[in-house]
């Protein structure tokens, strides 16, 4: 059974860069038919898709964050990572990583990591 | 971006009630619609994909329907473990977007 676990700092200063890693166990980031995503959720608010990375390293980002986001995959470590730069208080949220099943009739997030709270504050 | 709007934003119901939640897309998304359940402090859990396909292991009291712009999640007989927030997501075009959620609490 595939499991995902986020790791990274819980507190980051404004204007700095957030770096989070998602470690995949019970499966491979190189598996066909899947790609890997980051999603975030500010307290009391809805979910926001940040971006995705394929096993090949190909990426797509949410245009609302496009210039600040980098997502990468490390197949040797079975991990994928998120970097978000120029942080502000508005980036405070729970950050989730997820595996995405890609089909011709839908893409869906499952499973998800447990989430990690990131607070942007000086 | 495709906007996803859920209604109601919250509802109160009793165990055994039939509950219906609606999700409307700002443009046609065919059946590229997914439903999740989220409990406080937990990650979302996949319930239904492609508008009406029940994820393995999800109780059959959950069902989904719709196509185009209007979709429905139905819980046929609400159970104590179903009190949670439910949200929809479109996977028709990037960026993937989510509804704001519908909180189901105890009446």
Alpha carbons A98 and B43: distance in angstroms, whole number = 10
Under 8 Å between Cβ of B9 and B100: yes
A114 neighbourhood in chain B, CB within 8 Å: 42-43
Q: List all residues of chain A from 39 to 58 with a beta carbon under 8 Å from chain B.
A: 45-49
CA nearest to B98 within chain A: A47
Under 8 Å between Cβ of B34 and A108: yes
Is B91 within 8 Å of A108 when comparing Cβ atoms? yes
B49 neighbourhood in chain A, CB within 8 Å: 101, 106, 108
Closest of B38, B26, B44 to residue A113, by C-alpha: B44
- Interface check A63 vs B, CB under 8 A: yes
Confidence at residue A102, expressed as pLDDT on a 0 to 100 scale: 96
Terminal-to-terminal C-alpha distance of chain B:
36
Confidence at residue B106, expressed as pLDDT on a 0 to 100 scale: 87
Confidence at residue B107, expressed as pLDDT on a 0 to 100 scale: 86
Task: State the best of B95, B97, B98, B101 to mutate against chain A, taking most chain A CBs within 10 Å.
Answer: B95
In tens, the pLDDT along A74-95 reads 999 999 999 999 999 999 999 9
pLDDT band at B12 (very low <50, low <70, confident <90, very high): very high
Alpha carbons B36 and B71: distance in angstroms, whole number = 13
Under 8 Å between Cβ of A109 and A38: no
What is the distance in angstroms between the Cα of B100 and the nearest Cα belonging to chain A? 5
- Interface check A59 vs B, CB under 8 A: no
Q: For CA atoms A116, A111, A73, A68, give the dihedral sign.
A: negative
Structure tokens at B60: 């059959």
**A48 - beta bridge partners?**
A40
CA nearest to A97 within chain B: B43
Confidence at residue A66, expressed as pLDDT on a 0 to 100 scale: 74
Confidence at residue B4, expressed as pLDDT on a 0 to 100 scale: 98
Residue with tokens 């949670």: B84
pLDDT band at B19 (very low <50, low <70, confident <90, very high): very high
CA nearest to A65 within chain B: B95
Alpha carbons B6 and A28: distance in angstroms, whole number = 35
Reduce the secondary structure of B55-94 to three states and give it as a string: CCCCCCCEEEEEECCEEEEEECCCCHHHCCEEEEEECCCC
Confidence at residue B41, expressed as pLDDT on a 0 to 100 scale: 95
Q: Is the pLDDT of residue A55 over 90?
A: yes
Give me chain B's average pLDDT, please: 97
Structure tokens at A16: 């700095």
Under 8 Å between Cβ of B88 and B98: yes
Under 8 Å between Cβ of A119 and A10: yes
């Amino acid at each position: 059974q595939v499991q995902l676990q986020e790791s990274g700092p819980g507190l980051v200063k404004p204007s700095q860069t957030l770096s989070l890693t998602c470690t995949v166990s019970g499966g491979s980031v190189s598996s066909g038919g899947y790609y890997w995503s980051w999603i975030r959720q500010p307290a009391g608010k809805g979910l926001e898709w940040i971006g995705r990375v394929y096993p090949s390293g190909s990426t797509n980002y949410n245009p609302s964050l496009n210039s600040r986001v980098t997502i990468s995959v490390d197949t040797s470590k079975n991990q994928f990572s998120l970097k978000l730069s120029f942080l502000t208080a508005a980036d405070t949220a729970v950050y989730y990583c997820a595996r995405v099943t890609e089909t011709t009739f839908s893409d869906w997030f499952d499973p998800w990591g447990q989430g990690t709270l990131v607070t942007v504050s000086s | 971006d495709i906007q996803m709007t859920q209604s109601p934003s919250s509802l109160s119901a009793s165990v055994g009630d039939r509950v219906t939640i609606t999700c409307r897309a700002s443009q046609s998304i065919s059946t590229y619609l997914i439903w999740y359940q989220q409990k406080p402090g937990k990650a979302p859990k996949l319930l239904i994909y492609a508008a009406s396909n029940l994820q393995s292991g999800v109780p059959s009291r959950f069902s989904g329907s719709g196509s185009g712009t209007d979709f429905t999640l139905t819980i046929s007989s609400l159970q104590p473990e179903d009190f949670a927030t439910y949200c929809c997501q479109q996977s028709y075009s990037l960026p993937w977007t989510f509804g704001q959620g519908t909180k189901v609490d105890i009446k």
